[in-house]
Structure 1
Amino acid sequence: MTDAISSLRDDTVPEHRRGSGLVRLLLSNEFGLAVLIALAFSAFAVSLPGFVSPFSLFTIGRQIGIDTMIGLAMMAVIVTGGLDLSVGAIGVCAAMVFGYLAQSVGVPLAFAIPAAILFGAGLGFINGYAVVRSGVHSFIITLASMSIFFGVMIFLTQAQSFNELPAAVPAMGKLRLGGKVSVLLIVTLVICAALSVFYRYTVLGRQMLAAGANPKAAKLSGIRTGRVIVSCHMLTGALAALAGLMLTARTGAAVPSMAGQLGQDWLLPAFLAPVLGGTLLSGGRVSVIGTLLGATFVTIMTSGLLLMRVGEFWILACLGLMLLLAVLADRFRQQVLRARGMI
């Protein structure tokens, strides 16, 4: 089973076809993003003196942590070639469940936080089960569930916020290490490390990659692709819930509109980070580090443009253009690597 799974992975290319490691590095999304991040950060640091102040670095790092978590949530379902438009709705619903447990019921945070994450995984299970049982593409299923989850949440909460959470919640959002580094960013880095290990060394992680790379071959090798798809959606739900909790810690309250109407404000960051980072929309390949770098680049660009007082409309237009260019660049990179016999 393990050998069959390994044979389906993108990185099991014969040695004579791998080509120059240096060329592959220079053509990788990670290298390109690292260069763009360095250039953007340097440009804003020179033109905007306040950009590198301790408080600015703290807020940028905190936002990077949240945006990366949102991107990881989408990445977890793109692995199998699926999409989840309900990421924002799940995140908000989980945050509201956390607010209800922590504020109204008085459940200790040690139990309220895992309960909210499990709730998000449960909503992800509903999405995954519906996709597998119906055979309808996840785009349609999650487009519907986005409205359902959000609508039910608004009905049950009457659109009321939970703004009297335990003091430890907003304190976590404000906590910084060394005066500059947000604890929320540290949490995200830990999750990134865990996901890297998960996809590289665990059976389920390799099955997810195999099911995304070649579903038919995965079935022939004995992989139960239906369960794998459901597991991907559950992981997406759990990560979206964690992103919602991080946003709650930043704002100090669980607010129904914290991700926009129906959670749509999360959609662009959710796609931008993994796609910029090199995760294939067709499935079969992920880059956890690339997703982190993609979110970092987007956050730095957004923060710098806001400090330059660029209109929000133009910032959204810029982010949309970045997503389009990222998709085109990915296709070009694949063509170059294929022409050189490296893939």
Structure 2
Amino acid sequence: MTDAASPGVDTRDGFAPEKRQGSGALRLLLSNEFGLAVLIAIAFTGFALALPGFTSPFSLFTIGRQIGIDTMIGLAMMAVIVTGGLDLSVGAIGVCAAMVFGFLAQSLGVPLPLAIPGAILFGALLGFVNGYAVVRSGVHSFIITLASMSIFFGVMIFLTQAQAFNALPAEVTGLGKMRLFGKVSVLLVVTLLVCAGLGLFYRFTVLGRQMLAAGANPRAAELSGIRTGRVITACHMLTGALAALAGLMLTARTGAAVPSMAGHLGQDWLLPAFLAPVLGGTLLSGGRVSVIGTLLGAAFVTIMTSGLLLMRVGEFWILACLGLILLLAVLTDRLRQRMLRARGLI
């Protein structure tokens, strides 16, 4: 449910038949998910032994809450990577959606059950703008979203005059602080539900499987009758909606909608946006996603960051470490793919 790849289709439709399946145990041991689970266990145990307060109820709550937010950011990027695209504007979309939510909830007094979906739909609208521009222009999404990142952020700053919405309803802050069983953040639960929904979406829905097929082989997908332009646009809309949800979760954590809460132009989101899905096994070339891998990737990054911060390691060194982890993840994935191909497992 949580790991999906482009399905094998008859060669008459332009797809190559599925390769034989090898040893399930070997595939599991060589999978990103298994490796990440081991790394998470090692990192968590190490920090728990070195830092007495690392496993306190409050620490576990804050770590879980941050895992929920970082995973949602990673899922937003994963949704567009599935077709081999990129979206550098996820941070800008998330902040813009959060500011729209602040305007609706604080300035207009719109009830939360309407303001929240409104902000998410606005994020999907910005994603549609990106997708439409990519399809109509033929320019790679890297360039389009690099431009839209600045445009979205600049227009938002102009319209809001860089003023934060810091008088939101008390329920917003209450949601960010809410705990289940004294330790589990509600934001993490929301993310887990979204992960489950995405896993079902990519595995069992027509549109989800079309996204995988379009990412694996766009030309073959076109020959099969899949309208790849619409699929790419839908991917960007899904990315926009997930980025908006991440922005709302960050708003719940801080208790305010702040124009700079994702950094200048949303750049603070770029590293976690790429780290989580790439560490989790989502192929940058498209055609394969791993929802559970993205969750594990975000969990590993959050645990490492939290532990290093508690050990008073400088933030710049942490960023350097995360960048190195991303590079190693890409190189390791290439090595893993070669090993699996050599054994005829993929």
Contact 1:5-1:207 at 8 Å conserved across structures: no
> Which of 117, 120, 141 is residue 117 of structure 1 equivalent to?
120
Deviations 1:67-104 (A, max 9, x none): 00000000000000000000000000000000000000
Could you list the per-position Cα deviations for residues 239-288 of structure 1 after superposition, in whole angstroms to 9, with x for gaps in the alignment? 00000000000000000000000000000000000000000000000000
Please list, as runs of the form range in 1=range in 2, the aligned pairs for 1:64-143 lying within 5 A after superposition: 64-143=67-146
Preserved CA contact (<8 Å) 1:5 1:218: no
Aligned residue number for residue 236 of structure 1: 239
Equivalent pairs counted in the alignment come to 338
Runs of 4+ in structure 1 over 4 Å off: 8-12
Q: Is the 8 A contact 1:91 1:244 kept in 2?
A: yes
Aligned to 1:280: 283
TM-score, length basis structure 1: 0.97
Conserved? CA contact 2:82–2:287, under 8 Å: yes
CA contact (8 A) 2:9 2:16 kept: no
Once residues 99 and 11 of structure 1 are traced to their aligned partners in structure 2, the CA distance between those partners, rounded to angstroms, is 49
Q: CA deviation at 1:13?
A: 2.7
Q: Does 1:194 align with 2:159?
A: no
Q: Could you list the runs of 5+ residues in structure 1 that have no partner in the other structure?
A: none
Q: CA deviation at 1:19?
A: 1.1
8 Å CA contact 2:15–2:220 kept in 1: the answer is: no
Note if 1:13 corresponds to 2:18: yes
Partner Cα separation in structure 2 for residue 211 and residue 10 of structure 1: 11
- Cα pair 2:22 2:345 within 8 Å, conserved: yes
* SS at 2:297 equivalent: helix
Q: Which amino acid aligns with 1:168?
A: E
Q: Match of 1:238, as an amino acid?
A: A
Tell me, what secondary structure is at the counterpart of 2:288?
Answer: coil
Displacement of 1:211 in angstroms is 0.1
- Take 2:16 and 2:25, find their aligned partners in 1: how far apart are those partners? 16
Match of 2:223 among 220, 224, 234: 220
Find out whether 1:304 has 2:307 as its counterpart. yes
Q: In structure 2, what is the Cα distance between the partners aligned to 1:6 and 1:59?
A: 42
Residue 11 of structure 1 and its aligned partner are, at CA, apart by: 11
Structure 2: tracts of 5 or more residues without a match? 1-5
RMSD: 1.4
State the shift of 1:18 in Å: 1.4
> What is the CA–CA distance in structure 1 between the aligned matches of 2:47 and 2:9, rounded to whole Å?
45
1:165 aligned to 2:168?
yes
Aligned-partner Cα distance in 2 for 1:171–1:140: 39
| CA distance in 2: counterparts of 1:5 and 1:298, whole angstroms | 30
Please state if 1:335 is matched with 2:338.
yes
Identity %: 84
* Cα offset, 1:6, TM superposition: 4.4
Corresponding residue SS for 1:286 = strand
